[in-house]
């Protein structure tokens, strides 16, 4: 067997986030010699677990998993590499009046609780679950396909469009119209057709606003509701799971699989540029000046960095550059990680109940969420933000010293474009707002805090390179999905530079720890090989 | 006994009258029933104040398909187009303002705000014209359901696909990208001037319970530019006010042998074995009818006029779910003199728009989300007497103002004389910031809240379009998914109001298409001899 | 925590094996004793007392109450007499069964509907524009079913009511030693029996009165296992077992029309408009694709299958609720959904959906049985439902 030069690879993947790792693993599995370059000291991108404070390990950014594609888990044999996902079974929404709304995993229990708030909703809930099941079935093939270009006349695109047309046509009138409504409506309106219980509507609609700069009453927020049902077809709140060891555990498992297939992963290796010769990528230049050669270069970074930083914009078509500049990032969420000396004690449900093993959602009403958005619209962080809180140490005790806990608070809205810009004082003020909001429902929280880490969208941009701190590498809005993600004509993982590909969440289908972008990109790269 | 009517039309709104005309011209015996003394539905002109004729509700006739004017020969029946005013004037105070209209002075006007914007104006305007042009092509036919198995529908769908591709790569993608966008994002992509963006963005939220930052409002902007020259919104001014359109339609209808009864309200539509059998008048008179064309909004039609027992609960659910959220109020003024915006009179012949920025519009919307009336409302005013002096005594004027947002459902209290007059004051105060002489010039005023519009015109929630023009309620989704072709689950009952495709704006198109569908079906199924 | 029924203080105390199961969000007993045999035999020989409180109950009242029910139900509600009880399924617009239950006319403008599933939302959806109130009284009304040949004698001893004249599917208001109750001559066993409806707060008292008054007549609390055998013998359907509610079905093939469930007799096509009317008229005209029938397994055939592996025949000790394929000449023509050994008929019986052309009574079929881990086909034949038709039920 011929030996190959150490500095020449079949493929170099820029960015060791979960999509980059998935792409690398698939390429390595196909026998390619693959190198992954990660700027930070850990792999995972936004899916990392770090011991931020001694003894306290956090899923620093992304904190739950719901959509990791089952085919990836199978193909890469991730359970063998340590992947273990534990369900987050309940969602507790504390209410300002001292009551609560809880969504339990058990059907009878869930119904009983819903019935307490609204007998009609208790029934609607099952039917809603059934509709969502159909919708998830309708969307699944789309998530798994490379988006065809509707303007193209190439046989492959026409075939893809034909397949898509047949798929939609085959749904039948009712399901098609329901899907159309889901794609175009606001989550508030969509849910109002089904439910009357305010905290139920708000807690469900919150999923529609995550990662977007829209309020729950804006059209286009309903379809993200589907994400909650993609892994959940029995109608129960079981969409979200928590990875053992934090979300970094997922990245580690994928990295381990990639290494098993022969991929090399280098951390603390920042890429400054993609080397392009004659319109063709030939390797990368690292920040320290090293140049590495590769037949194929794959970027797992977001479209802004992929096109405008790794490449020289002057060498790109004008409309592409304009398109990237118009691509909406505008991060809208922050993260607060707390190390706790004791568990929070919620006034509405005191003690150490099963609710602490689930999610706690600060979303008492649609108006609450909408007001949170109102603040952000005009450049302020929400005075009363929406929050999705979990206590990972309840599920995996290794994340904190015995008896102590870690708490993860996802917070929206925290606009990237804050009036006057983000600084230390504003960050701390934001952290205080979050703690104050939560402490209204769990008064012992403040005294239980040992350490606190506050991450603004600006911090996310600086730390893990998410432009404007958008957690999905670009808003999940209708005009930025499918064949429009990231840009029309460039939605098939390719770029105008030959042998340079994109595989990040900024491509179809994007968003969440799904890995589908990385897999589909690898499939396309291998097709071109 | 006289021969039974082939079709009974409920309501004499523009859409219904257009439908009635086409049916009558096809040789059918048609009866139109209107419960008011004036015709035209929301398109009415009334002498609200002695000597002043005001367009009570709609301020202009919208975009009337030239085909309809021609087919029905409306000009011989008294429809006289005085002019097409294509200007939008957006005052910024101190007599200055942005003026958008045909011609080079638009560019100059924009350039004073931003030279960069001026250079983008023409490409933008042309793009809007092309995209709205494609939309118009969709508005000229009854929308096929994309999942239809019918061969004809499949051809129609293929035709739409071909036309879309016919736009060319760039415009096609631009269309698909634009439709679901917030109008604010679309305008931010193109322009930097707040006034220009506010003025253009207003078209994206007109009569809609959304702000410009809400997704899907770019579609509404396109909708309001159907049939318009580029990104401009023009106003066709007809002699005698908007009501003259209905008068012309009524005359044309009479000439085709149609029969019209006004001031006779319909109480309900009778259904027997799933078929329309008669229309029952408020007085109790029963008019047998095998086909009924209803101009009322779908909610009123299916929940009040028809006994819901005849409809399957799923369908009723869909009807109940129609979003129809009244947000606009109307203020009509009799003026002793022209309001002084500090600019030339010609600037005021078009539309005067008070929407100084996208944030201004958005804040105005914010209030309504929580059931409050906007403190600083978005206003769209016209002074029709400038073009048609016959509407007011010599030297005097009428001014007609649409105000947003005035939510139908107030969080605190109810609509009543106090809230109504407070709203009127707020509108006048806002306008007075730009035309200080206005308050003193007001001789009389009329304020219509969404509740008033509901009770006067019978439109649920006072919604001008009988249903929000959001993406989930247009094309094959209008009025409800699966029933976008004017027919209803009740055999023989058709809808023809703006609650059906393509909605308000392209005036009368729903009636035109409804009649076409009915005549098509009639050809297909030979008339029963019973 | 799951809900308990109003009788729980008494039922829990009697439970010998803690054999709890779920029914509509409640915990109820599968059997009180360690085996359910005696509970079953009480149904047929004495009187069994079955806690049926988890049933959903709706109070429907108002000027349009009759109109609403006439719209929702396929039966002609205009013909429902005062104090009449009707068994009825109800359908969606496609004519597929959503649920089944009983409707009682308590008064001119007052009805009670019982259902196996929650139906509040569906009733509201159908009540658009009607002057009617729909109240979920499931938790406020306790219900106990007294079934068996001695049930009338027991009630006569404790209730102030004319039970001798109370006809099958009629109800009467009564006082049971001071407890106001409604007694309906209905049940889910195919035997002489009554269902007694009282305010949940008086449930325990009622239980005690029944036990005291019934002792001499062999009254026996019975659980769901005993009930299940009785209802199969009586050919009575169970939702989510014998059919899938149109509101739960994920695909159309899972749904059934009343015609396909042997409930065609409940559909009055000629009455005023009701949900599913058009679809049902079409189906009636076309003829249903499926029929719901009894299956009687041939004993010799079953014995033979076991004999082949050297075992005596095994019969199910409790009713089963899984799906067993039915074959004709090796081709599947249907599936049985419930089955049991009938202790009274001494037959292995099952209820099955059969393609209409194989549904003629007496048609020889095969039913899949598992003999020592291996799938076999036992000979069987299509039988009439109900298997058991007792004269005393109606008399």
C129:B313 CB<8 A: no
- Percent over 70 (pLDDT), chain C: 100
Confidence of residue A137 (pLDDT cuts 50, 70, 90): confident
Q: Are residues B359 and B426 in the same domain?
A: yes
CA dihedral C164, C168, C169, C174 (to 10 degrees): 10
Q: Is B215 on the interface with A (CB under 8 A)?
A: yes
Q: What average pLDDT does the segment C11-17 reach?
A: 97
Q: Are residues B398 and B281 in the same domain?
A: no
3-state secondary structure of B279: strand
Whether the pLDDT of residue B529 is over 50: the answer is no
Give residue A233's pLDDT: 36
Give residue C271's pLDDT: 94
Q: Are residues C35 and C147 in the same domain?
A: yes
CB under 8 A, 24+ apart: contacts of B109-115: B110/B193, B110/B196, B113/B193, B113/B195, B113/B196, B114/B191, B114/B192, B114/B193, B114/B196
Does residue B418 sit within a domain?
A: yes
The CA–CA distances, whole Å, from C303 to B228, C344, C367 equal 85, 19, 14
The per-residue pLDDT for range A4-39, each reduced to its tens digit, is 445 689 999 999 999 999 999 999 999 999 999 999
Q: Are residues C74 and C7 in the same domain?
A: no
CATH of the domain at C306: 2.40.30.110
Decide which of C201, C222, C243 is a domain's last residue: C222
As a whole number of angstroms, the distance between CA B264 and CA A282 comes to 81
A122:C25 CB<8 A: no
Decide which of B201, B229, B257 is a domain's last residue: B229
B313:C272 CB<8 A: no
CATH of the domain at B346: 3.30.519
C171-176 vs C179-184, strand pairing mode: antiparallel
As a whole number of angstroms, the distance between CA B67 and CA B73 comes to 10
Decide which of C136, C160, C184 is a domain's last residue: C136
Whether the pLDDT of residue B203 is over 90: the answer is yes
Measured between CB atoms, which of B165, B215, B359 is closest to A478? B215
Q: Are residues B363 and B299 in the same domain?
A: no
Measured between CB atoms, which of A109, A123, A130 is closest to C118? A123
Q: Are residues B277 and B315 in the same domain?
A: yes
Give residue A235's pLDDT: 38
Q: Are residues C296 and C383 in the same domain?
A: yes
**Residue of B272, B312, B317, B482 to mutate when probing chain C, most C C-beta within 10 A:** B312
Decide which of B457, B478, B512 is a domain's last residue: B457
Give the chain C residue nearest A126 (alpha carbons): C248
- DSSP assigned state of B527: P
B316:C93 CB<8 A: no
Q: Are residues C90 and C147 in the same domain?
A: no
Per residue, the 3-state secondary structure of A25-43, as one string, reads: HHHHHCCCCEEEECCCCCC
Whether the pLDDT of residue A237 is over 50: the answer is no
How many angstroms separate the CA of residue A211 from the nearest CA in chain B? 15
Does residue C241 sit within a domain?
A: no
Neighbours of chain B (3+ CB pairs under 8 A): A, C
Q: Is C279 on the interface with B (CB under 8 A)?
A: no
Give residue B365's pLDDT: 97
Give residue B480's pLDDT: 95
Does residue C235 sit within a domain?
A: no
Does residue B437 sit within a domain?
A: yes
C121:A108 CB<8 A: no
A479:B178 CB<8 A: yes
Consecutive H or E run containing C307: helix C299-308
Written as six digits, the tokens of A487 are 């840009």
Whether the pLDDT of residue A316 is over 90: the answer is yes
Confidence of residue A133 (pLDDT cuts 50, 70, 90): confident
Whether the pLDDT of residue B102 is over 80: the answer is no
Give the chain A residue nearest C123 (alpha carbons): A120
The candidate with the shortest Cα–Cα distance to C120, out of C137, C103, C105, is C137
Q: Are residues B204 and B247 in the same domain?
A: no
**Boundaries of domain holding C90:** 57-136
Give the chain B residue nearest A212 (alpha carbons): B215
Q: What share of chain A is helix, strand, coil (3-state, %, to 5)?
A: 40, 20, 40
Whether the pLDDT of residue B353 is over 80: the answer is yes
- Percent over 90 (pLDDT), chain B: 85
Confidence of residue B528 (pLDDT cuts 50, 70, 90): very low
Q: Are residues B300 and B249 in the same domain?
A: yes
Written as six digits, the tokens of B86 are 């294509």
B219-B220-B226 Cα angle (round to 5): 90
Written as six digits, the tokens of A492 are 């098939």
Q: Which residues of chain C have a CB within 8 Å of the CB of B303?
A: 128-129
Q: Are residues C355 and C368 in the same domain?
A: yes
As a whole number of angstroms, the distance between CA C216 and CA C150 comes to 10
Return all residues near A15 (Cβ < 8 A) that are at least 6 apart: A36, A37, A38, A39, A45, A299, A300, A301, A465, A504
Half-sphere exposure (CA, 13 Å, Cβ side) for B360? 21
Decide which of B407, B430, B457 is a domain's last residue: B457
Does residue C276 sit within a domain?
A: no
Q: Are residues B429 and B513 in the same domain?
A: no
Give residue A65's pLDDT: 81
Q: What average pLDDT does the segment A53-82 reach?
A: 91
Q: Are residues C9 and C110 in the same domain?
A: no
Q: Give backbone dihedrals phi and psi of A266, rounded to 5 degrees, phi first.
A: -115, 130
Neighbours of chain A (3+ CB pairs under 8 A): B, C
Whether the pLDDT of residue A422 is over 90: the answer is yes
As a whole number of angstroms, the distance between CA C89 and CA C71 comes to 13
Q: Are residues C49 and C65 in the same domain?
A: no
Residues of C with CB under 8 A from a CB of A: 1-3, 22, 25, 118-122, 124, 136, 247-248, 250
The per-residue pLDDT for range B385-435, each reduced to its tens digit, is 999 999 999 999 999 999 999 999 999 989 999 999 999 999 999 999 999
As a whole number of angstroms, the distance between CA A333 and CA A376 comes to 10
Give residue C1's pLDDT: 82
Per residue, the 3-state secondary structure of B381-412, as one string, reads: EECHHHCCHHHCCCCCEEEEEEEECCCCCCCC
Size of interface A-C (CB pairs under 8 A): 32
Higher pLDDT, B139 or B505: B139
Q: Are residues B212 and B265 in the same domain?
A: no
Give residue A232's pLDDT: 44
The per-residue pLDDT for range B311-332, each reduced to its tens digit, is 999 999 999 999 999 999 999 9
Written as six digits, the tokens of B451 are 């509740």
Consecutive H or E run containing C351: strand C347-355
Does residue C326 sit within a domain?
A: yes
Does residue C356 sit within a domain?
A: yes
Q: Are residues C37 and C63 in the same domain?
A: no
Q: What is the mean pLDDT of chain B?
A: 93
Which stretches does DSSP call E strand in A239-382?
A: 241-243, 264-266, 271-277, 280-286, 291-299, 333-340, 359-362
Query: Which residue, chain included where needed, has tokens 């009322």?
Result: B296
A173:B470 CB<8 A: no
Confidence of residue A228 (pLDDT cuts 50, 70, 90): low
Q: Are residues B318 and B371 in the same domain?
A: no
**Residue of C67, C72, C128 to mutate when probing chain B, most B C-beta within 10 A:** C128
Give residue A64's pLDDT: 84
**Residue of B275, B302, B313, B491 to mutate when probing chain C, most C C-beta within 10 A:** B313
Whether the pLDDT of residue B380 is over 80: the answer is yes
- Percent over 70 (pLDDT), chain B: 98
How many domains does chain B fold into? 3
Does residue C270 sit within a domain?
A: no
How many domains does chain C fold into? 3
As a whole number of angstroms, the distance between CA B240 and CA A165 comes to 50
Return all residues near A74 (Cβ < 8 A) that are at least 6 apart: none
As a whole number of angstroms, the distance between CA C368 and CA B18 comes to 67
Does residue C239 sit within a domain?
A: no
Does residue B112 sit within a domain?
A: no
Q: Are residues B433 and B332 in the same domain?
A: yes
Return all residues near C25 (Cβ < 8 A) that are at least 6 apart: A108, A111, A112, C2, C3, C54
Q: What average pLDDT does the segment B5-10 reach?
A: 96
Length of chain C: 395
Written as six digits, the tokens of B216 are 């899907």
Give residue B96's pLDDT: 86
- DSSP assigned state of A468: G
Q: Are residues B315 and B331 in the same domain?
A: no
Confidence of residue A98 (pLDDT cuts 50, 70, 90): very high
Give residue B493's pLDDT: 97
The CA–CA distances, whole Å, from B395 to B337, B389, B391, B441, C24 equal 7, 8, 11, 12, 77
Domain ranges within chain A, ordered by starting residue: 8-47+66-82+247-328+472-528, 111-235
**Boundaries of domain holding B202:** 123-229
Q: Are residues B138 and B222 in the same domain?
A: yes
Does residue C112 sit within a domain?
A: yes
Q: Are residues C152 and C296 in the same domain?
A: no
How many angstroms separate the CA of residue A175 from the nearest CA in chain B? 10
Q: Is B310 on the interface with C (CB under 8 A)?
A: yes
Q: Which residues of chain C have a CB within 8 Å of the CB of A130?
A: 247-248, 250
Q: Is B151 on the interface with A (CB under 8 A)?
A: no
Whether the pLDDT of residue B171 is over 60: the answer is yes
Written as six digits, the tokens of A191 are 């849910």
Q: Is A171 on the interface with B (CB under 8 A)?
A: yes
Whether the pLDDT of residue B526 is over 80: the answer is no
Q: Which residues of chain A have a CB within 8 Å of the CB of B221?
A: none
Q: Are residues C127 and C26 in the same domain?
A: no
Q: Are residues C17 and C164 in the same domain?
A: yes
Decide which of C136, C165, C181 is a domain's last residue: C136
Written as six digits, the tokens of B303 are 């929940």
The CA–CA distances, whole Å, from A57 to A63, A391, B78, B315 equal 12, 11, 81, 53
Whether the pLDDT of residue A1 is over 60: the answer is no
- Of 3.40.50.1360, 3.40.50.300, 3.40.50.720, 3.50.50.60, the CATH number of A8-47+66-82+247-328+472-528 is 3.50.50.60
């Amino acid at each position: 067997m011929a030996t190959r030069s150490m500095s020449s690879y079949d493929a170099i993947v820029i960015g060791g986030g979960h999509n980059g790792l998935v792409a690398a693993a698939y390429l390595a599995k196909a026998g390619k010699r693959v190198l992954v370059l990660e700027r930070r000291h850990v792999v995972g991108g936004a899916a990392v677990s770090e011991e931020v404070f001694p003894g306290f390990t956090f899923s620093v950014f992304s904190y739950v998993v719901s959509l990791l594609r089952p085919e990836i888990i199978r193909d890469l044999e991730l359970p063998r590499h340590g992947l273990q996902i534990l369900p987050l079974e309940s969602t507790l929404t504390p209410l300002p009046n001292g009551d609560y709304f809880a969504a339990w995993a058990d059907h009878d229990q869930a119904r009983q609780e819903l019935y307490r708030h609204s007998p009609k909703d208790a029934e609607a809930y099952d039917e809603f679950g059934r509709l969502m099941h159909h919708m998830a079935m309708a969307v699944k093939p789309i998530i798994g396909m490379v988006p065809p270009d509707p303007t193209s006349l190439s046989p492959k695109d026409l075939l893809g469009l034909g397949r898509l047309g047949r798929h939609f046509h085959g749904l039948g009138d009712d399901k098609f119209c329901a899907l159309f409504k889901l794609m175009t409506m606001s989550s508030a309106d969509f849910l109002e057709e089904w439910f009357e219980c305010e905290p139920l509507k708000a807690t469900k609609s919150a999923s529609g606003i995550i990662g977007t700069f829209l309020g729950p009453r804006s059209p286009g927020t309903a379809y993200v509701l589907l994400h909650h049902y993609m892994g959940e077809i029995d109608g129960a709140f079981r969409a979200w799971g928590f990875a053992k060891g934090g979300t970094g555990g997922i990245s580690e498992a994928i990295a381990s699989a990639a290494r098993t297939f022969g991929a090399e992963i280098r951390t603390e290796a920042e890429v400054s540029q993609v080397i392009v010769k004659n319109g063709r990528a030939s390797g990368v230049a690292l920040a320290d000046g090293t140049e590495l050669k590769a037949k194929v270069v794959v970027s797992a970074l977001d479209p802004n960095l992929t096109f405008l930083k790794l490449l020289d914009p002057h060498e790109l078509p004008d409309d592409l550059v304009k398109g990237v500049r118009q691509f909406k990032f505008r991060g809208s969420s922050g993260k607060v990680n707390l190390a706790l000396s004791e568990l929070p004690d919620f006034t509405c449900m005191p003690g150490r109940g099963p609710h602490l093993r689930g999610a706690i959602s600060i979303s008492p009403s649609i108006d609450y969420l909408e007001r949170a958005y109102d603040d952000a619209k005009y450049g302020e962080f929400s005075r009363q933000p929406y929050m999705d809180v979990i206590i990972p140490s309840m599920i995996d005790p290794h994340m904190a010293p015995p008896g102590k806990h870690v708490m993860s608070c996802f917070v929206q809205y925290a606009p990237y474009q804050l009036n006057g810009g983000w600084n230390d004082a504003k960050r701390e003020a934001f952290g205080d707002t979050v703690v104050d909001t939560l402490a209204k429902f769990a008064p012992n929280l403040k005294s239980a805090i040992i350490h606190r880490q506050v991450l603004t969208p600006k911090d996310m941009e600086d730390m893990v390179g998410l432009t404007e701190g958008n957690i999905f590498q670009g808003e999940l809005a209708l005009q930025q999905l499918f064949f429009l993600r990231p840009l029309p004509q460039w939605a098939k993982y390719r770029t105008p530079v030959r042998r340079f590909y994109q595989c990040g969440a900024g491509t179809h289908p994007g968003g969440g720890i799904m890995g589908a972008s990385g897999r589909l990109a690898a499939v396309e790269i291998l097709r071109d090989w | 006994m006289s021969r039974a009517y082939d079709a009974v039309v409920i309501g004499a709104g523009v859409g219904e009258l257009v439908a009635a005309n086409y049916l009558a011209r096809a040789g059918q015996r048609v009866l139109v029933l209107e419960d008011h003394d004036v015709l035209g539905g929301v398109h009415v002109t009334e002498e609200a104040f002695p000597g002043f004729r005001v367009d009570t509700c709609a301020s202009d006739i919208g975009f009337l398909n030239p085909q309809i004017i021609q087919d029905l020969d409306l000009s011989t029946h008294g429809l006289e187009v005085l002019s097409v005013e294509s200007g939008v004037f957006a005052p910024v105070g101190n007599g200055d303002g942005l003026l958008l209209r045909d011609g080079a002075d638009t560019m100059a006007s924009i350039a004073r705000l931003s030279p960069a914007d001026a250079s983008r104006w023409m490409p933008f305007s042309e793009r809007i014209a092309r995209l709205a042009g494609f939309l118009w092509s969709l508005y000229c036919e009854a929308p096929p359901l994309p999942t239809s198995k019918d061969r004809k529908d499949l051809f129609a769908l293929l035709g739409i696909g071909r036309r879309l591709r016919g736009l060319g790569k760039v415009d096609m993608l631009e269309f698909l990208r634009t439709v679901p966008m917030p109008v604010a994002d679309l305008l931010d992509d193109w322009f930097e001037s707040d006034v220009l963006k506010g003025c253009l963005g207003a078209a994206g939220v007109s009569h809609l319970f959304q702000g410009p930052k809400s997704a899907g409002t770019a579609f509404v902007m396109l909708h309001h530019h159907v049939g318009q020259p580029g990104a401009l919104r023009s106003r066709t001014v007809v002699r005698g006010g908007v009501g003259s359109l209905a008068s012309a339609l009524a005359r044309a209808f009479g000439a085709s042998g149609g029969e019209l009864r006004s001031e006779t309200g319909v109480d309900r539509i009778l259904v027997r074995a799933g078929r329309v059998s008669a229309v029952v008048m408020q007085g109790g008179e029963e008019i047998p009818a095998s086909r009924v064309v209803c101009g009322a909004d779908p909610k009123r039609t299916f929940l009040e006029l028809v006994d819901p027992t005849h409809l399957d609960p799923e369908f009723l659910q869909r009807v109940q779910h129609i979003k129809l959220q009244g947000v606009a109020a109307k203020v009509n003024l009799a003026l002793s003199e022209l309001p002084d915006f500090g600019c030339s009179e010609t600037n005021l012949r078009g539309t005067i728009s008070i929407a100084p920025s996208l944030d201004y519009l958005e804040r105005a919307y914010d209030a309504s989300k929580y059931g409050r009336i906007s403190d600083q409302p978005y206003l769209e005013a016209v002074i029709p007497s400038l073009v048609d002096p016959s509407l007011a005594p010599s030297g005097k004027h009428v001014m007609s103002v649409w105000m947003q947002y005035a939510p139908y459902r107030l969080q605190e209290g109810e609509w009543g004389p106090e809230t109504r007059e407070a709203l009127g004051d707020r509108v006048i105060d806002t306008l007075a910031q730009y035309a200080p002489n206005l308050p003193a010039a007001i001789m009389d005023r009329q304020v219509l809240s969404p509740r008033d519009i509901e009770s006067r015109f019978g439109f649920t929630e006072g919604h001008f379009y009988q249903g929000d023009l959001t993406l989930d309620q247009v094309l094959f989704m209008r009025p409800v998914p699966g029933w976008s072709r004017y027919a209803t689950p009740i055999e023989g009952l058709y809808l023809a109001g703006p609650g059906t495709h393509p909605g308000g704006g392209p005036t009368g198109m729903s009636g035109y298409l409804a009649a076409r569908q009915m005549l098509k079906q009639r050809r297909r199924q030979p008339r029963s001899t019973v | 925590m799951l809900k308990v029924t109003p009788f729980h203080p008494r039922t829990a105390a009697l439970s010998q094996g803690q054999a709890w199961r779920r029914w509509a969000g409640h915990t109820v007993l599968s059997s009180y004793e360690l085996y359910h045999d005696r509970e079953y035999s009480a149904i047929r020989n004495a009187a069994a007392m079955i806690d049926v409180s988890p049933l959903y109950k709706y109070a429907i009242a108002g000027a349009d109450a009759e109109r609403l029910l006439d719209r929702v139900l396929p039966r002609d509600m205009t013909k429902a007499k005062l104090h009449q009880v009707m068994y009825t399924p109800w359908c969606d617009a496609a004519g597929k069964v959503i649920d089944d239950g009983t409707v009682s006319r308590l008064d001119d403008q007052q009805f009670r509907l019982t259902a196996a599933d929650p139906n509040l939302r569906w009733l509201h959806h159908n009540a658009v524009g009607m002057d009617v109130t729909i109240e979920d009284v499931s938790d406020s009304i306790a219900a106990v079913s007294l079934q068996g040949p001695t049930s009338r004698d027991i009630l006569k001893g404790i209730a102030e009511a004319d039970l001798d004249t109370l006809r099958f599917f009629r109800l009467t208001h009564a006082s049971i030693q001071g407890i106001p109750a409604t007694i309906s001559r209905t049940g889910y066993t195919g035997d002489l029996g009554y269902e007694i409806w009282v305010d949940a707060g008086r449930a325990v008292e009622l239980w005690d009165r029944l036990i005291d008054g019934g002792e001499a007549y062999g009254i026996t609390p019975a659980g769901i296992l005993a009930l299940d055998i009785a209802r199969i013998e009586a050919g009575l359907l169970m939702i989510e077992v014998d059919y899938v509610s149109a509101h739960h079905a994920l695909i159309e093939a899972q749904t059934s029309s009343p015609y396909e469930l042997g409930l065609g007799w409940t559909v009055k096509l000629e009455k005023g408009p009701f949900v599913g009317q058009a679809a049902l008229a079409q189906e009636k005209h076309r003829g249903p694709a499926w029929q719901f029938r009894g299956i009687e397994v041939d004993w010799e055939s079953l014995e033979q299958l076991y004999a082949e592996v050297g075992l005596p025949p095994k019969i199910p000790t409790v009713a089963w609720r899984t799906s067993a394929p039915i074959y004709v000449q090796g081709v599947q023509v249907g599936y049985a959904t419930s089955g049991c050994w009938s202790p009274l008929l001494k037959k292995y019986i099952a209820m099955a959906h059969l393609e209409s052309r194989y549904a003629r009574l007496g048609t020889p079929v095969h039913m899949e049985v598992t003999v020592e881990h291996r799938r076999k086909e036992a000979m069987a034949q299509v039988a009439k439902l109900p298997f058991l038709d007792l004269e005393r039920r109606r008399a």
